[in-house]
Structure 1
Amino acid sequence: MPSWVFHLLQLLPTCVTFALVASVGTWSGGGATGNWFTFTWCFCFILSFIILIGELCGLPFCLPLFGDSVLITCACSATLFCLSASMDFVTTYIQFLPRSPFRDLTMAATAISCITSVAYATEVAWTRVLTGEFSCDVFTLPGLLKRLEIFVACAIFAFISSPSLYQHQPALGWCMAVYAICFLLPAVALLLPWCDWGRRLLIPFPVFHLGLTSLSVLFYTTAVILWPLYQFDEQFGGQPQRSSDATCRHRLPYDRCTWDHLLAVATLTAINLLLYVVGLMNLACSPAGTPGAGQEVAVASHGPR
């Protein structure tokens, strides 16, 4: 089956979901959470559109960034984003709406968003069947961990979209720097083989990858300590109880209170640290010279689709 068929099947439901959400006013009435939902579906629509145009124009044969591994990475990320947005949309928006045609439209948007997730996941599964082996790094443990790390980092950014949550303390500003740096490091680890930069490094790529992961573990260890300390400890200006946060006393539909955002960031920070530790242990236990995440990409990215 031509790959552009998958992208077309992804493009249609993302377009419908975005149109339904925009028609019911979630963009303007959902606060920061509603903006995140809208951004997620709009981003997936634009991503699918760009990839579809690239496929129709034959760019996979001209540009390595349109190879298999890049496209599967996009499909995996879009699957996670659409699925998480669908689940969060129900818990933070739809359940507060009264029964009405307005609510029916939002439920339809959620259902179509779930279908979109299935469409992206189908492309990933089809590529796995097509290759017949784990030649694409998306199907290896290091490759999967890197994509999960990027996804969790994006979720963290969604919860701390307001600068007021971290600008009042230098330690919290450092945590923001950690999230940004460690978001870029996995992306660098994935992009190096695609751009064939790994061969130009003066050190072996597995050693370079091990260094990036070790640095991320060190950075996230400081964040997993500093973020809860300065957000939930009274001695450092934090709020230990949810009831002490004025934004949580009169909770509005489809909008979480600030304390919930801070707790979500603390939880996601711990989850990402665990992912980095697992990745570091996997790299440390691998035999010397074993390819790390992304080294198979250079081969898989030029395979037939």
Structure 2
Amino acid sequence: MVNLPCLLSAILLGYFLRLLQLLSTCLAFSLVASVGTWMGAVSNWSVFIWCFCFLVTLIILIIEFCGLQSRFPFSWYNFLITYACYAALLCTSASIVYPITYIWFFPHGRSQDHAIAATAFSCIASVAYASEAAWAHTWVWLGVITGYMVTVPGLLKGLETFVAGVIFAFIIDSHLYLHQPALVWCVAVYSICFLLAATALLLNWCDCDNRLPIAFPTFLLGLTLLSVLLYTTALVLWPLYQFDEQFGGQPERSSCNDGLIYSFCTWDQQLAVAILTAINLNMAPYSLYSLGSSSYLFLFSL
């Protein structure tokens, strides 16, 4: 039976966190826009993240105030925790990339102050979204939420799709891989693994996991094993063809053009992709271990 005082406290905390998210994301993109301190793809992406999170959070607040949650054909609370996790990751990435890429190039003055303040509010938004994701587990304790996204494998699968999205951002320039078929294969691996992980999340989000011809945990186990094999090939081939001179790679970082600001060096992009590939591959054993736990199997046997 749901504890009413705890339920009311959780609801009030949720509204407080969303108001904090609205305020911090609004101030972040407003500070940047007010002095035009954005230029280039990286800054545009950061501003897009803040605007997107502000808009979606505002829509969520309006829906909840109007009591329209039950009109959606999916689990509203699973949607909330999924969105909170992704928003926390997005705002965190903006909080890291924006200052590293931009603040150091601004002269001391109003533009730099606004950029620093925008970064601070982006960090606040990250904490607010992460707190909401943690707060959502209160609903698990109250018995309101059950499902894939409140489990460790679900969170890891969501993180995997986010990391894959960051990889796509780094390989947006086709000259990084089109000159070698092995590197094209790596890009295909990133695309396939992203689609597999996104499929698993969407099946659960739309409550279609029980319509599969096999048990959902078995389906996830197969996807995870396939992703491990594919990411292993990418982790071998990408560094080999990007950093080994025998395969046409560049083993050392060359100095970037001094005029190259608001962007990343090509070598840095190649290294970032290799590191992110290793991160996604290393998350798989934890996901496999969680999939094999008896408590997880029991959750989906209900």
What is the TM-score of this pair, normalised by structure 2?
A: 0.85
How much does 1:147 deviate?
1.8
Comparing 83-92 with 68-77, which one deviates more in the overlay?
83-92
Secondary structure (helix, strand or coil) at the match of 2:18 reads: helix
Give the distance between the partners of 2:28 and 2:295, measured in 1 at CA: 47
How much does 1:67 deviate?
1.1
Give the distance between the partners of 2:214 and 2:137, measured in 1 at CA: 31
Q: Is the 8 A contact 1:13 1:113 kept in 2?
A: yes
Match of 2:225 among 207, 214, 225: 214
Give the distance between the partners of 1:237 and 1:261, measured in 2 at CA: 16
Indicate the residue corresponding to 2:163 in structure 1.
152
Map 1:61-210; keep pairs closer than 5 Å.
Answer: 61-65=70-74, 67-132=76-141, 135=146, 137-210=148-221
Comparing 56-65 with 261-270, which one deviates more in the overlay?
56-65
Q: Deviations over 1:13-33 (max 9, x none)?
A: 212211222333344x2x232
Give the distance between the partners of 1:66 and 1:290, measured in 2 at CA: 20
Q: Is the 8 A contact 2:149 2:155 kept in 1?
A: yes
How much does 1:128 deviate?
2.2
Q: Deviations over 1:167-199 (max 9, x none)?
A: 222222221221122112222212223323222
User: What is the RMSD computed on CA atoms of the aligned residues?
Assistant: 2.6
Does 2:247 match 1:236? Answer: yes
Give the distance between the partners of 1:161 and 1:92, measured in 2 at CA: 17
Equivalent pairs counted in the alignment come to: 289
Give the distance between the partners of 2:149 and 2:88, measured in 1 at CA: 13
Match of 2:297 among 268, 285, 290: 290
Runs of 4+ in structure 1 deviating by more than 6 angstroms, as ranges, are none
Q: Percent identity?
A: 56
Identify unmatched segments of 5+ residues in structure 2: 1-10
Give the distance between the partners of 2:138 and 2:289, measured in 1 at CA: 29
Indicate the residue corresponding to 1:224 in structure 2.
235
Q: Is the 8 A contact 1:11 1:49 kept in 2?
A: yes
Give the distance between the partners of 2:294 and 2:130, measured in 1 at CA: 32
Rate the CA distance shift 1:291–1:151 in 2: closer, same or farther, 3 A. Answer: farther
Indicate the residue corresponding to 1:51 in structure 2.
60
Give the distance between the partners of 2:130 and 2:250, measured in 1 at CA: 40
Indicate the residue corresponding to 1:21 in structure 2.
32
Does 2:273 match 1:265? Answer: yes
What is the TM-score of this pair, normalised by structure 1?
A: 0.84
Q: Is the 8 A contact 1:172 1:227 kept in 2?
A: yes
Give the distance between the partners of 1:231 and 1:121, measured in 2 at CA: 35
Give the distance between the partners of 2:45 and 2:99, measured in 1 at CA: 14
Give the distance between the partners of 2:207 and 2:139, measured in 1 at CA: 24
How much does 1:68 deviate?
0.7
